[in-house]
Amino acid sequence: MTNQAATEFIHKTVLLNEAVDALAITGERTNGVYIDGTFGRGGHSRLILQQLGPNGRLIAFDKDTQAIASASEIKDPRFHIVHDSFATMSEALQELGVKHVDGILMDLGISSPQVDDATRGFSFRADGPLDMRMDTTRGISAAEWLASEDEEKIREVIKNYGEERFAFQIAKAIVARRQTDTITGTRQLAELVAHAVKTREKGKDPATRTFQAIRIFVNKELEDLEVGLDAAFSALAPFGRMSVISFHSLEDRIVKQFFASKVKVEQPDRRLPIRYLDLPQPQMRLLNRIKPSDTEVSENPRSRSAILRVAERLPEGNA
């Protein structure tokens, strides 16, 4: 940590060079239009800007007000920041008069500053208000949701988004506790979960899955991802590339299945008289699947679960 204000937190961009290199910003493509779907603290955006030509353009998105403040420090006329989820990509591009883009990078999940800042409520390692919203100007906090939601829905969220096998016991404990005490702090929730979870995974806090689940639900992360992937594909020009980094199995499964749906095509009955040119063609081709190197993981342990998937849009009628 430097001598900067205590409210500033260090963020190490995961798979920085690999994700940007996958966009292939070379030759004529240096003057293309690119999207950074999750600005964060701007690691990927700044590297993309370094590789863009004078007529290139970068449009970034982020829900976090602190990320938007960081983005405002970039005084490059080729750069534009949108304070919203990448799920609004189609509408934003239409407003900006952009029909097609040459590359899209999406770095999913939460950033280190969000985790390390106890006032955001993402982590149970330090006590703080149970908020968890990426955009603190919209929606309801985790504490507000837990105070009003019914037990069955809480159980469903913790089970489906946290893959927690003790979801029933945790939901029951939450509802019982709120009868006598409002759950407003991260440590308060973490201790409650610890008492409800009967066995612990080695090396993992018992509250990890519950916190992940509530965060994903409150921020609509998986819903936004599904909408965002569709919007990204629609915006891509032929031979445009998508570079997507995920950090947990739920995200990666959605990305993997989305790419697979664009790569695989249903073949018609061979007995039907269909011309070769009329056969369905794949819309994308997979280019790579990359995980952080041992060196990156040792320097930034939070990168250990990251998976980068890269795919390229194919032109219509490709052979």
Integer-rounded Cα Rg, in Å, for the chain is 21
211 is annotated as contributing to ligand binding: no
H/E stretch holding 127: none
- Is 259 marked within a binding site? no
What does 217-267 look like in DSSP terms, one character per residue? HHTTHHHHHHHHHHHHHHHEEEEEEEEEEE-SHHHHHHHHHHHHHHH--PP
- Determine contact, residues 311/287, Cβ cutoff 8 Å: yes
Are 43 and 22 in contact, with CB atoms under 8 Å apart?
Answer: no
User: Is there a contact between 210 and 173 (Cβ–Cβ < 8 Å)?
Assistant: no
Is residue 42 marked as binding? yes
Return the SS3 of 275.
coil
- Please tell me whether 43 is known to bind a ligand: yes
Is 224 annotated in a binding site? The answer is: no
Q: Which residues contact 36 (CB under 8 A, 6 or more apart)?
A: 44, 45, 48, 58, 59, 60, 61, 105, 107
The rounded distance, in Å, linking the Cα atoms of 231 and 87 is: 7
Q: Is 62 labeled as ligand-binding? A: yes
Please check if 86 is assigned to a binding site.
yes
Residue with tokens 């979870």: 197
Q: How far apart are CA 254 and CA 290, in angstroms?
A: 17
Binding-site residues: 42-44, 62, 86, 107, 114
Binding-site residues for S-adenosyl-L-methionine: 42-44, 62, 86, 107, 114
